[in-house]
Amino acid sequence: MKSQRRFSLGSIGIVLYFILLLLPIYWMFTMSLKTNEEILGSLTFWPQNPTWANYRTIFTEEAWYSGYINSISYTLLNTVLSVSIALPAAYAFSRYRFLGDNHLFFWLLTNRMAPPAVFLLPFFQLYQNVGLYDTYWAVALAHLLFNVPLAVWILEGFMSGVPKEIDETAAIDGYSFARFFFRIFLPLIRSGVGVTAFFCFMFSWVELLLARTLTSVAAKPIAATMTRTVSASGIDWGLLAAAGVLTIVPGALVIWFVRDYIAKGFALGRV
Amino acid sequence: MQKTFNNRAWLLVLPVVLSVAFSAIIPLMTVVNYSVQDILGPQQRVWVGNEWFVDTIRDAELRAAFGRNLLFSLEVLLLEIPLGILIALGLPATGWRASLALVLIALPLLIPWNVVGTIWQIFGRADIGLGGYFVNNVLSIDYNYTLEANDAWYTILLMDVWHWTPLVALLAYAGLRAIPDAYYQAARIDAARPWSIFWYIQLPKLRGVLLIALLLRFMDSFMIYTEPFVITGGGPGTATTFLSIYLSNIAVGQFDLGNAAAFSLIYFLFIQVFCYIFYTIIERVGQGSKG
């Protein structure tokens, strides 16, 4: 009896939390379907005359949709790079002890702690000097700074869950290391690779300060494009909201595919 | 797992070290360079030694921003960690409801940070935002985040709780699912109350993931930049001028590279030392309770 009541109280709390969680997102979504007259005219809980005009603008003007293509391009490039260089490192951390391994790990993590606002100028100078400024590569490489430590950390957790006897058996059976790694080991930690890729995608997708600094025209991210909504006649709220809604879509799609692995990904982490 | 000592493992780690070092060490060295010189032009620079550092430590406005940021991080941690644990405890454990809940909860984490700012900028406005309208007209509290210092502060705080509690909740949820069923069975045999199950089984088992949550939230809230920049731009006055905003104002706005560089080094060091101490303490405590 008692536990029944607790349960229902908890459920009400959770439902309430989800409503509060979704309300601001819902508000932006309804706004994207309204005209500017309706937004500024009166407060309406749902659009009176739903219009797709804001979305049409984004999908037909190149200045708009190229922002999305650029953002997705460097995010995917970064995800592939992060996972492929983190795989061997995570294997090393999970299988061997070596000189300075713990210090190296803490150093990797400290790179997440650098205050970005002041490192912008050095970053800008560095990438301009090596000739990568305003390319997908510049952003993808810069984002390695915080994605690689995370990727190593998650992958190491998954790899430690695979018994070392498998490595030894494969060696006795005459597998070369490369063949063992790709044919036997990787399939065993498939879900770990999926989770890692998800987190790399997510952190690269949401980071915009570095992305904006390292690009100007050719690789301009969607965040920079969104400032176009501010003009002499004020802010185009409807367009801004539509652009915002579209930035949520790629993330929501990715998360749907990896939903069952997310919980596992953290649970098997290093700590 | 028994690990063998093998220094050749460095070869496997090398790509990671090189790629991270490229983006970490070269910019850091540039900042160190700025912090000890006065840069007058591309070819003109004067060695000033520790002058910027002394200058920076005496800067009253900077100290105020530092204190403000510390308070903000503290409030963020006090709100988000308990709330995240509560949510994780309340979430369904299996079935389609669990999947749906996870997807919905993770949604704020996948929104680009400037869009999070935009969402709250819209939502909090009294004229066109539901939240601002509700507070002003239904609760009839005078609320305007662009004019009132306190309102701006609470708006940013609420936004951060909205944005980042899901991360704590996901971590705690993952930690809870990793507790073997045998623990709960033992508790049932002992007829343990829910509170003691939480205190003696769940909370100790969550130590690892909560440590990660605490560290991540501390680091990120201490360098918060994009969201307050979009919502309030640091205002009204200096009410929400957090450290990163103040630093980028002096670095980019006034082009005082020396000051900005000197302080960002102090800032970086502070976070590192704090995290290291914190990490070590928690590790020690954990070892103690195991043995």
Whole-number pLDDT of residue B87: 92
Best A155, A266, A268, A270 residue to mutate vs chain B (most B CBs within 10 Å):
A266
Q: Which residue of A has its CA nearest to B272?
A: A110
Q: How confident is the prediction for chain A on average, in pLDDT?
A: 83
Whole-number pLDDT of residue A2: 44
Q: Write out pLDDT tens, residues B64-97.
A: 888 999 999 999 999 999 999 999 988 887 777 8
Chain center to CA of B11: 33
Residue length of chain B: 291
Alpha-carbon distance A103 to nearest alpha carbon in chain B (angstroms) = 11
CA distance A180 to B167: 35
Give the confidence band of A231 by pLDDT, cuts at 50, 70, 90. Answer: low
Whole-number pLDDT of residue B165: 94
Alpha-carbon distance A31 to nearest alpha carbon in chain B (angstroms) = 9
Whole-number pLDDT of residue A74: 93
Q: Which residue of A has its CA nearest to B176?
A: A267
Cα-only R_g, chain A: 23
Q: How confident is the prediction for chain B on average, in pLDDT?
A: 83
**Looking at residues A16-29, what average pLDDT do you find?**
90
ipTM at complex level? 0.80
Q: Chain B contact for A123, CB < 8 A?
A: yes
Give the confidence band of A270 by pLDDT, cuts at 50, 70, 90. Answer: very low
CA distance A73 to A237: 27
- CB within 8 A of B112, min separation 6: which ones? A205, A206, A207, A208, A222, A223, A247
Q: Write out pLDDT tens, residues A65-114.
A: 888 899 999 999 999 999 999 999 999 988 888 888 878 887 887 777 77
pLDDT exceeds cutoff 90 at A262: no
Helices B95-106/B149-177 angle, 10° precision = 140
Helices B149-177/A2-32 angle, 10° precision = 120
CA distance A4 to A12: 13
Lowest mean pLDDT: which of A138-147, B80-89, B114-123, B232-241? B232-241
Alpha-carbon distance A222 to nearest alpha carbon in chain B (angstroms) = 10
Domains of chain A in sequence order: 60-267 (1.10.3720.10)
Partners of A230 in the β-ladder:
A235
Give the confidence band of B283 by pLDDT, cuts at 50, 70, 90. Answer: low
pLDDT exceeds cutoff 90 at A269: no
**Looking at residues B261-281, what average pLDDT do you find?**
81
**Looking at residues A138-158, what average pLDDT do you find?**
87
Whole-number pLDDT of residue B71: 94
CA distance A74 to A261: 24
Whole-number pLDDT of residue B74: 94
Contacts of A121 in chain B (CB under 8 A): 30, 251-252, 257
CA distance B70 to A175: 55
Nearest partner of B52 among B33, B35, B28, B32, judged by Cα: B35
Whole-number pLDDT of residue B207: 80
**Looking at residues A24-33, what average pLDDT do you find?**
89
pLDDT exceeds cutoff 80 at A15: yes
Percent of chain A with pLDDT strictly greater than 90:
11
CA distance A78 to A136: 9
Contacts of B227 in chain A (CB under 8 A): none
CA distance A85 to A15: 41
pLDDT exceeds cutoff 90 at B260: no
Contacts of A205 in chain B (CB under 8 A): 110, 112
Lowest mean pLDDT: which of A173-187, A254-268, B116-130, B158-172? A254-268
Q: Write out pLDDT tens, residues A44-72.
A: 788 888 888 889 888 888 888 888 899 99
CA distance B121 to B140: 20
Whole-number pLDDT of residue B225: 85
Q: Which residue of B has its CA nearest to A7?
A: B90
Q: Write out pLDDT tens, residues B197-207.
A: 888 888 888 88
> Any alpha helices (H) in chain B, and if so which ranges?
9-35, 51-58, 60-90, 95-106, 113-124, 130-133, 149-177, 181-189, 194-197, 203-205, 207-222, 226-231, 243-248, 257-290
Contacts of A244 in chain B (CB under 8 A): 111, 115, 118-119
Query: Which of A138-152, A257-271, B47-61, B229-243 is the most confident on average?
Result: A138-152
Whole-number pLDDT of residue A77: 95
Query: Are B268 and A266 a contacting pair at CB < 8 A?
Result: no
More confident residue, A116 or B112: B112
Best B19, B31, B62, B115 residue to mutate vs chain A (most A CBs within 10 Å):
B115
Query: For tokens 């709960």, what's the residue?
Result: B184
CATH topology of domain B63-290: MetI-like fold (1.10.3720)
Alpha-carbon distance B255 to nearest alpha carbon in chain A (angstroms) = 11
Whole-number pLDDT of residue B35: 82
Q: Which residue of B has its CA nearest to A257?
A: B103
Give the confidence band of A117 by pLDDT, cuts at 50, 70, 90. Answer: low
Interface of A with B in 53-112 (CB under 8 A): 81, 85-86, 88-89, 91-99, 101, 104, 106, 108, 110-112
Q: Write out pLDDT tens, residues A159-194.
A: 888 888 888 899 898 888 889 999 889 888 887 888
Q: Write out pLDDT tens, residues B115-147.
A: 888 888 888 888 888 888 888 888 878 888 888
Whole-number pLDDT of residue A271: 39
Query: Are A115 and B223 a contacting pair at CB < 8 A?
Result: yes
Query: Are A267 and B23 a contacting pair at CB < 8 A?
Result: no
Whole-number pLDDT of residue B291: 32
